[in-house]
Amino acid sequence: MTDAAPKFAQIKQHIINNIRAGIWLEDQRVPSENELADHFNVSRMTARRALSELTDAGVLTRSQGLGTFVASFKSQSSLLEIKSIADEVRQRNNLYSCTILSLESIAALAPIAIALGVEIDSQVYRSVLLHNENDVPLQVEERFVNPALAPDYLQQDFDTLTPHDYLSKVAPLTEARHTVEAIMPNSEVCEWLGLFNEEPCLQVIRRTWSSMGIVSFARLISPGSKYRLGGHLTFKRTY
């Protein structure tokens, strides 16, 4: 990056270089607009443009009131269709049921607070559900919910209504971001899913937004032999 490059581009390159060099790690807070403006002797608007463009590119993630952080290196925007797992099971003409493993209010640790855009140690809602198909465990769903956008979340009957369906009603989805990877489940997940032999699982990490802000942060784990993820992606032509 030469000195002739626009100031906002120099700031972007500075941030990218620090991430590549391992100086700033995943989920680590990066300098604020004011700090960058002072360091590069530019206006706050110029610093804001640099942060905004890197956020739009998925390099950074911004949480209102907390700051800007290095995004997960595996995180990427996705055009995968968000479906209710209950609907998927019923579309196969099978019986859907749900087992509630946990439903509680907890203090948000730093990664959860960052993901939801709330204060660290503030109260958030947590649910752990086991989705079943024909009474056979299909998927474990651990979800953290922003109480400000779904205040009655803990009072819902998730035997008859999935979290996805409820949240879609009270805070309609406008944006989602996914991380998809294969994992080896821990002993607790193996017990929940009824896995007696080591078996790779599909894990989807999902953050969802409504027009009012970040709604939820969820971890969905399914046995690789029982579940697959499908979708249709459209790519822009590049030259």
pLDDT digits (tens, 9 = 90+) for 174-218: 888 888 888 899 889 999 998 877 788 989 899 999 888 899 999
Alpha helices, H only, 105-232: 110-116, 163-170, 187-193
pLDDT at 214: 92
- Could you confirm whether domain 7-72 is CATH 1.20.272.10? no
CA 156 to each of CA 46, 91, 102, 145, 194: distance values in angstroms, whole numbers, following the listed order = 45, 24, 13, 13, 26
H-helix or E-strand spanning residue 52: helix 44-56
SS3 13: helix
In angstroms, the CA 78 to CA 2 distance is 34
In angstroms, the CA 97 to CA 136 distance is 9
The beta-strand segments (E) located in 123-228 are: 123-133, 136-145, 175-183, 201-210, 213-223
Q: Are 144 and 220 in contact (CB under 8 A)?
A: no
Question: What is the residue extent of each domain of the chain?
Answer: 7-72, 77-223
Handedness of CA 178, 181, 184, 190 (dihedral sign): positive
pLDDT at 217: 93
pLDDT at 238: 37
19 vs 37 pLDDT, higher one:
37
In angstroms, the CA 202 to CA 200 distance is 7
In angstroms, the CA 188 to CA 130 distance is 12
* Residue percentage of the chain with pLDDT more than 90: 41
pLDDT at 42: 94
H-helix or E-strand spanning residue 99: strand 96-107
Whether the domain at 7-72 and the domain at 77-223 fall into the same CATH topology: no
pLDDT at 239: 34
Measured CA angle at 185 (ends 179, 190), to 5 deg:
135
Which two three-digit tokens encode residue 107?
A: 């203090």
| Averaged confidence pLDDT in the chain | 84
Band (pLDDT 50/70/90 cuts) for residue 37 is: very high
Q: How many residues does the chain have?
A: 239
**Residue 99 pLDDT more than 90?**
yes
Q: Are 138 and 227 in contact (CB under 8 A)?
A: yes
CA 160 to each of CA 27, 131, 166, 202, 216: distance values in angstroms, whole numbers, following the listed order = 36, 12, 10, 25, 20
pLDDT at 44: 94
pLDDT in tens, 62-85: 887 889 998 865 433 343 456 778
Highest mean pLDDT among 4-13, 90-99, 213-222: 213-222
22 vs 126 pLDDT, higher one:
126
**Residue 146 pLDDT more than 90?**
yes
- Could you confirm whether domain 77-223 is CATH 3.40.190.10? no
**Residue 234 pLDDT more than 70?**
no
CA 1 to each of CA 6, 11, 81, 148, 185: distance values in angstroms, whole numbers, following the listed order = 10, 10, 39, 43, 44
Q: What is the mean pLDDT of residues 155-176?
A: 89
Band (pLDDT 50/70/90 cuts) for residue 47 is: very high
